[in-house]
Structure 1
Amino acid sequence: MTNFAFFLPVMFSTFALLFLAISRLGPAAAPFWAAGFGCAALGFWAPAIDQLLPSPAWSLLADALFACAFLAYSEALLVRWCARWLLHVRLFITVGAVLGCAVAILLQLPLLELAVSDAASFVLIALPLVAALPHLRNRLDQALALAALLVAFDGLSRLATLLVTRGSGAFLDSVYFFLMQAFASVFGLFLGLAALAGCMSELIARYRREAELDPLTQSLNRRGFDRASVGAHDRKGAVISCDIDRFKAVNDRFGHQSGDQVISAFARVIMAHVPEDARVARFGGEEFVIYLPGADLAKAIGCAETIRQAFAATGAEAARIDHVLTASFGASAILADDGSIYDALNRADRALYDAKNNGRNQVCAASFLRPIAARPVGDGLARGIG
């Protein structure tokens, strides 16, 4: 009944090494998965060592390793769903399980030792499932929860059938030992693959975000904007095109590092004054575009004016330069017959150029009904253009 004697530690060691390698790439749960599978691998080696060097210490070491493995599994699951949840409780269960197993070994009560170990394993892997219930929105989380549930069920079923499966013979020849290794092979493989898929999906999502973000401002780049605004022309909305005034003079006078600080300050002002569902993108240099889902032209003008005033008031201080900073804005509504959001952006760009040509530091809006002369409305308020 020792057909799994070498397969299990090799399999769990392989998963441990895989997660250890993946942890260098950033997934938060990967180090805990590596620790869990590593402890489990060492725990499965213990019976083989015990055959060569019989000692109660090997049994206690295996119990401690399995308890630590399930603690690490629970932490890995909770990093994905509810980090640090009931950590003190789980630590108490782990330490209590090791102490309970030590007492059982000293009293020579093998059934108690197995019962304590199985009960602790069940509780440690089952607790995260309670925290996971509100978070099971995608198939990967559901698969991971199912794998953890099967592992928990395995521990509970062993605990429930302990008196029958353990028997009175040698532990390594018992039905209990065979079932433990058989189900650990199947459910451990499932858990490892589900956890691996979860970590890889996190990596892919992170790389996708990085590919769609401007590294200087953490706003969207053009690729990210295209993806975030798919189908925008089929819905009500508005766009704003904006540009820092006389930005070349900032670079020439203060250097490109200060220029980058100005761009970053402008991006922060924009993102601080747009609605939560807005999409902000840097299209290159000092030029930004804003997509406002569901907004009309009046709301876009108001949003642009708020950003204009905030940047004029705080931009220089935020960028840490002694220089007057202003920006110009063009706004346009998205029309029902637009082929894409770029039709609206082209109109917003023309309005932006009008703002530049009429003195900068102002908001201009594209008019779609009839050509009208540009006219100021207050200090820097919207102007209409044909």
Structure 2
Amino acid sequence: MVSLNWVTTSGFAILAILCVCVFLGMRRMPSLAWLVATAVIATIETVFLANAQFETVSSNAVAVLTPLAYICFGEAIRAALGQRSRNWWLYGAVAVFTLAAVSLKLADVPFSYRTPVFQIACALALWDGIYRLAKLPTRSFIDHGLIGVVGGLFAIFIFRAVTYPFIYGPDVAYAVIRAGDIERATLMLSALLSAVAILLTLARIINGVIVAYRRRSELDSLTGLLNHQAFHQLASVAGKTGGSVIFCDIDHFKSINDRFGHSAGDKALCAFAELLRLSGYQTGRLGGEEFAVLVPGGSIAVAMIEADRLRKKFSDLRHANMPGDLRITASFGIAEYEAGAEPRQAFSKADAALYAAKSSGRNRVSVHQAESVKSAAA
């Protein structure tokens, strides 16, 4: 009959191979490297658990490897969340408790008295990942699952640390404790939860990569706003309350590039894009120096106020590598769409209003109303 410990070892070995394959296939991300280390250390640890022939060596190896595996797991969480700071004080505390657990074993202290030190080392190692996940402002389904699973592991180690000195006396050998139902159940449950935690972390890393690529495909590489395709897709969803569309264009942009270079032109584009982003509305770069803003639920009057505010702010900006008295301006065209209509149905009207604003002198806001276009000069 195959030992449960060897089944656990095989399971972690498969997880380690899976993590290595994903690591090699996904640009060798640091989060995956830490997860590989977690799975490999867990595999080695279970080998020592399965081979109890050399009890002292196995016990000390497990006392060192288990907290180390959870430290690596916490590092995988940190890297997956894109956080740089490390809790060195926590790692130091884990090292102190781990060294104490090994020392107590070498001093032949009974298992029920020395195990709380080891359990606390493991719980502290897990705390870093739990804390980082709990502090996230928004959490996905996977994040909630990770908190639950890692929290369950944390609870197991705290349970063992608190109860074992009372359940087992100093005269009970570990071989007897290990054969008991409590130890077998907690070992099996902790192994299962550890494996699930690795799988969930792997899923979170992969999902994060997919989301990042999707966002990158939807954003303009220069300004960070929605690109042409993504903005059109957004504007293809019918609005329940109607609203307005603002088209805007930097005036005489070609002359900026010709006089001051494309780098200066790019900075002007980014400055304008940042103003649009700070408006709080969905904004996209349609191409070149042309941008668009959706004002859902807003009337023409609201859109006019917002467009004129943006016009004045951009006109007041001073730009690097350009003369201090140079004023770069922008023109705006506004059109309204009705409730139940797609915002993109107003695009041609907003474009016509923008053309009217540029034709009538630039640096102004024009509004498309019925069959006419009305302009508000600067």
The answer as to whether partners of 2:227 and 2:286 remain within 8 angstroms in 1 is yes
Deviation at 1:352, TM superposition (A): 0.3
In structure 1, stretches of 5+ residues that fail to align are 381-386
- Of residues 365, 370, 376 in structure 2, which corresponds to 1:363? 365
Matching residue of 2:203: 197
Report the 3-state secondary structure (helix = DSSP H, G, I; strand = E; otherwise coil) of the residue aligned with 1:235: coil
Is 1:117 paired with 2:123? no
Please list, as runs of the form range in 1=range in 2, the aligned pairs for 1:144-155 lying within 5 A after superposition.
144-155=146-157
- Of residues 192, 206, 213 in structure 1, which corresponds to 2:212? 206
Matching residue of 2:240: 234
Q: 1:140-189: per-residue Cα shift (whole Å, max 9, x none)?
A: 22222222133234434555458569953658974577556633442222
Report the 3-state secondary structure (helix = DSSP H, G, I; strand = E; otherwise coil) of the residue aligned with 2:344: helix
Please list, as runs of the form range in 1=range in 2, the aligned pairs for 1:128-207 lying within 5 A after superposition.
128-129=129-130, 132=133, 137-156=139-158, 158-159=160-161, 160=163, 168=173, 170=175, 174-175=179-180, 179=185, 182-207=188-213
TM-score of the aligned structures, taking structure 1 as reference length: 0.78
Is 1:245 paired with 2:247? no
Distance 1:138 1:227, change over 3 A: farther
The answer as to whether partners of 1:269 and 1:307 remain within 8 angstroms in 2 is yes
Matching residue of 1:104: 104
Distance 1:9 1:205, change over 3 A: closer
The answer as to whether partners of 1:60 and 1:98 remain within 8 angstroms in 2 is no
Identity of aligned residues (%): 24
Deviation at 1:252, TM superposition (A): 3.9
Distance 1:147 1:226, change over 3 A: farther
Provide the C-alpha distance between the structure 1 equivalents of 2:322 and 2:297, rounded to a whole number of angstroms.
Answer: 37
Structure 1, 187-196 or 281-290: larger mean CA deviation: 187-196
Provide the C-alpha distance between the structure 1 equivalents of 2:50 and 2:177, rounded to a whole number of angstroms.
Answer: 10
In structure 2, stretches of 5+ residues that fail to align are none
Provide the C-alpha distance between the structure 1 equivalents of 2:71 and 2:126, rounded to a whole number of angstroms.
Answer: 8
Is 1:95 paired with 2:95? yes
Matching residue of 1:280: 283
Q: 1:352-375: per-residue Cα shift (whole Å, max 9, x none)?
A: 01011111121111223x747x46
Report the 3-state secondary structure (helix = DSSP H, G, I; strand = E; otherwise coil) of the residue aligned with 1:233: coil
The answer as to whether partners of 2:236 and 2:344 remain within 8 angstroms in 1 is no
Provide the C-alpha distance between the structure 2 equivalents of 1:101 and 1:212, rounded to a whole number of angstroms.
Answer: 52
The answer as to whether partners of 2:243 and 2:298 remain within 8 angstroms in 1 is yes
Matching residue of 1:297: 300
TM-score of the aligned structures, taking structure 2 as reference length: 0.80
- Number of residue-to-residue matches in the alignment: 367
Distance 1:198 1:327, change over 3 A: same
Give, as a single letter, the amino acid of the residue that structure 2 aligns with 1:140. Answer: I
Matching residue of 2:10: 7
Matching residue of 2:229: 223
- Of residues 341, 344, 364 in structure 1, which corresponds to 2:343? 341
- Of residues 276, 280, 296 in structure 2, which corresponds to 1:270? 276
Provide the C-alpha distance between the structure 2 equivalents of 1:36 and 1:18, rounded to a whole number of angstroms.
Answer: 15
The answer as to whether partners of 1:43 and 1:63 remain within 8 angstroms in 2 is no
Is 1:33 paired with 2:35? yes
Distance 1:11 1:352, change over 3 A: same
Give, as a single letter, the amino acid of the residue that structure 2 aligns with 1:352. Answer: L
Provide the C-alpha distance between the structure 2 equivalents of 1:66 and 1:48, rounded to a whole number of angstroms.
Answer: 14
Matching residue of 1:383: none
Provide the C-alpha distance between the structure 2 equivalents of 1:156 and 1:261, rounded to a whole number of angstroms.
Answer: 55
Please give the root-mean-square deviation of Cα atoms over the aligned residues, in Å: 3.8
